[in-house]
A = this chain, B = another copy of it.
Amino acid sequence: MSPSYAPGLAYFKRPRYPVSVEPGPRFAGVAAALVGGAGDVLSEWLDRYVRSPLRLPGAVDRDALGAQCEPLVAALAVALAADDVRPGAPSLREVEKGLSFLGAHLSASGCSGFDAAALVCALRDTLLDRLGHNDPSDGERDALFHLFDWFSAVALDAFAQGCRAEVTERFHEQLVDRTPVVLVAPDVPAAFPIGDARVNGLRGVFARLALTIARVGARVVIVDASGLSSQDDPEILAALSEYASHRKIAGRVALVACGLSDRGVSAWRRVTGAAGMAFEVRQRFWEALGAALERSDFAYSRRRGP
């Protein structure tokens, strides 16, 4: 097939395997089978999945998986009875949502891409099986095959996005829990938030800072902002504003910040000023520590020794 064919028309050369299901064949046979026996379809789908050579070996919780799959079978029964069944058509919206949901569910459940592919293929083969006694020349079988290319792409894109989201979430939790909030003097907490607003969970860090303030009765804290990628990002400033406006903190606990860019200084000064919080800026951490100790009851005096 030469690239000079007009796209979209090229496929009609081989009507038995059109890549796209346009211009919209109908799925009367499989729709009838679904309406008449959705429960059987679901049950056979799960059977085929359990037996599938594509998935990784391992036990399958049929009841749990069935609960996730059932809405998709119901949505398919409605969608495939429509006149205009093609990728992106309104009639398929619920099915596409269901497939995305299922792909995301599988990734969140620790399944592999093999499992996700096996589940979609098992549904396809279950439905193709329902067309067994029809005349293959009616095109429904082939159209269904290619519609499942689309369904498979929808489910597997959601699966892959789910994998990204799962790793992101894990790191997010790790950053919120592990971002250093330490006592640099017995009554001076310091926080070192890290990363960008999307992942750093600054709210979680400020919450731990607030707990530490309450525990040691701090009158001043240090925030080293040098690890933040975007110090004046709206999400960062919103978290700072919430912290600064806390009724037990505003007007009571001063903030000494270091590692701020010029833009960061203006933004943080504005936000803390609006909350009535005493705010000082130093360039380096040790300068911030010196400034904070002025407001604390503590001093580090070096023993004079040899």
B178 touches A113 (CB 8 A): no
Give the docked Cα–Cα distance between A43 and B31 (Å).
Answer: 38
Give the docked Cα–Cα distance between A136 and B164 (Å).
Answer: 41
Check if A168 is an interface residue, CB within 8 A of chain B: yes
In-complex Cβ contact of A44 among B1, B149, B159 (8 A): B1
In-complex Cβ contact of A153 among B51, B107, B114 (8 A): B114
- Smallest CB–CB gap between A107 and chain B, Å? 7
In-complex Cβ contact of A156 among B113, B178, B296 (8 A): B113
Check if A167 is an interface residue, CB within 8 A of chain B: yes
Query: Known interface pairs A153-B117, A171-B199, A194-B194. Does A53 touch B87 (Cβ–Cβ under 8 Å)?
Result: yes
Selected interface stretch from A71-79, A125-133, A233-241, A270-278: A125-133
* B-side contacts of A114, CB under 8 Å: 153-154, 157
Query: Which residues 203-236 of A have a CB within 8 angstroms of B?
Result: 224, 226-227, 229
Q: Across the two chains, which residue of chain B brings its CB closest to A103?
A: B113
Interface majority SS (helix, strand, loop, mixed), chain A:
helix
Query: Which residues 246-279 of A have a CB within 8 angstroms of B?
Result: none
* B-side contacts of A178, CB under 8 Å: 194-195, 227, 229
Check if A23 is an interface residue, CB within 8 A of chain B: no
Q: Mark A1-30, 1 if CB is under 8 A from B, else 0.
A: 101000110100010110110100000000
**Count of identical protomers in the assembly:** 2
* B-side contacts of A95, CB under 8 Å: none
- Smallest CB–CB gap between A304 and chain B, Å? 9
In-complex Cβ contact of A129 among B1, B117, B184 (8 A): B1
Query: Which residues 164-182 of A have a CB within 8 angstroms of B?
Result: 164, 166-168, 171, 174-175, 178-180, 182
* B-side contacts of A42, CB under 8 Å: none
* B-side contacts of A149, CB under 8 Å: 54, 117, 121
Check if A37 is an interface residue, CB within 8 A of chain B: no
B47 touches A180 (CB 8 A): no
- Smallest CB–CB gap between A257 and chain B, Å? 13
Check if A163 is an interface residue, CB within 8 A of chain B: yes
Question: 20 A-B residue contacts at CB 8 Å?
Answer: A14-B128, A17-B129, A19-B53, A19-B121, A113-B156, A113-B161, A116-B160, A161-B163, A164-B164, A164-B166, A167-B171, A174-B196, A174-B199, A178-B195, A179-B227, A180-B194, A183-B286, A184-B285, A290-B300, A301-B301
